[in-house]
Structure 1
């Protein structure tokens, strides 16, 4: 079964007009200019772009131009991001980070270098009678490491104004500390000595999302981690996330992700980290 847990496809951007649920991590390479929407948040892109999607994220293409997209998909059973985070340093940088854009613009040479590795995976997959899982994982690990390095370089070159940076960093720290208990934005606005209106405008300008969206994204991210990385029951996860009961948690999760926690766990699997 392992040979079906990684695949390479070439699609047209018109194929992404409707959200498509997938239990796979996806890396998309394309060039051009336009916009797309992920989980109802719009993003703009230009030039040579790499986009990173986690399981059950919803992608909708907004641009009318039909672009060619190279899509590499892999399942957590094939390559566990959490288990290999030391090797590729991409957990939370390329995938599952609610504070960062899900895509990067890369120089043309780097784009073609990563595209060449995509094609090597495709060639290895075509030789299905004798393809090596170790070789496929090595190519994938190199792709992730190169992407992680490029994204980290770009983050280090960002120089926002200092007062804004201080507030944003404080908000992120507060959210990480209190998202399970404090699910209203008034708490975070008051901690920054801002009105809720000024606070909301500042956060939306920085992240392209409202504070409420970020709070909900953080809860959902924690739920996904617990479902994938632990053997906790749905009831235990609901308690850990401070929900009234497992049924309310299941409704909340399905509303945000599109599938129930039980379905998500079955599709994505329980990581080797939990075993």
Structure 2
């Protein structure tokens, strides 16, 4: 079987952390559909009238002083039109050290706004990062500044209320699904990982998200299928196997159940 061409993956070519500006050259070329194997924080200081970006089939209009956090694996595209701001390309290892990964996975896609008082703090931290990055580039100091920056911006992203036990379990479940959905599609696997019964886990998810664990897994599989069908060149059969389906016809029925059309029809429309 000939392997189809996958969605391009942009890698960090050097260093575990790159800091640049939108106007003076980016850590990557934005002007194509691609994925990252790293985390990326975009801070839009100045935008144009119709500035926007697309992440996983969703188009977001962006305005001045917004931030977007991109996670590895997300399909991303943006046409630069003179926006000004910062780009932080961060390896998985460093990001796990400086930021709350689980919270970002749940809340981090949609661009969010920074209040003026927070913007001022962030500008000071970025100024320190820029100076160190272009001078001695000591990673221990850079990661300290970056951690402070992430603490400030994620404070605006998440609720200031303390996370309840059930909400924490939903966050943990989301992370587990992201890690295991290709191989593990049964609720019992995730319930065991979280040390609770399948029935209890479904109750938590139903109350917190209005859905079930099986549906969350299915939604993640459908999202990945849509990515591959829209932007990759693999056949439907190849995509089915990549997503852990042993039977391509079963994958087609699964996809049609959730999208209302066959994978072939969906792909032909793109």
TM-score (norm 1): 0.49
Instruction: Map 1:2-151; keep pairs closer than 5 Å.
Output: 4-12=15-23, 16-31=30-45, 32=47, 34-61=51-78, 65-77=81-93, 79-81=94-96, 84=97, 88=99, 90-94=100-104, 96-97=105-106, 101-128=109-136, 131-151=137-157
| 2-structure distance, mates of 1:17, 1:121 | 26
| Change beyond 3 A, Cα 1:140–1:212 | same
TM-score (norm 2): 0.50
Contact persistence 1:25–1:53 (CA under 8 A):
yes
| 1-structure distance, mates of 2:157, 2:91 | 22
Q: How large is the RMSD of aligned CA atoms in angstroms?
A: 4.4
Equivalent pairs, count: 174
| 2-structure distance, mates of 1:69, 1:22 | 19
How far 1:8 sits from its partner (Å)?
0.6
SS in 2 for 1:93: helix
| 2-structure distance, mates of 1:76, 1:149 | 20
| Structure 2: gaps of 5 or more residues | 1-13, 162-169, 187-201, 203-209, 212-216, 227-240, 252-270
2:222 to 216, 223, 226: 216
SS in 2 for 1:36: strand
Instruction: Map 1:185-204; keep pairs closer than 5 Å.
Output: none
Contact persistence 2:39–2:95 (CA under 8 A):
no
| 2-structure distance, mates of 1:65, 1:51 | 17
Per the alignment, residue 267 of structure 2 pairs with: none
SS in 1 for 2:112: strand
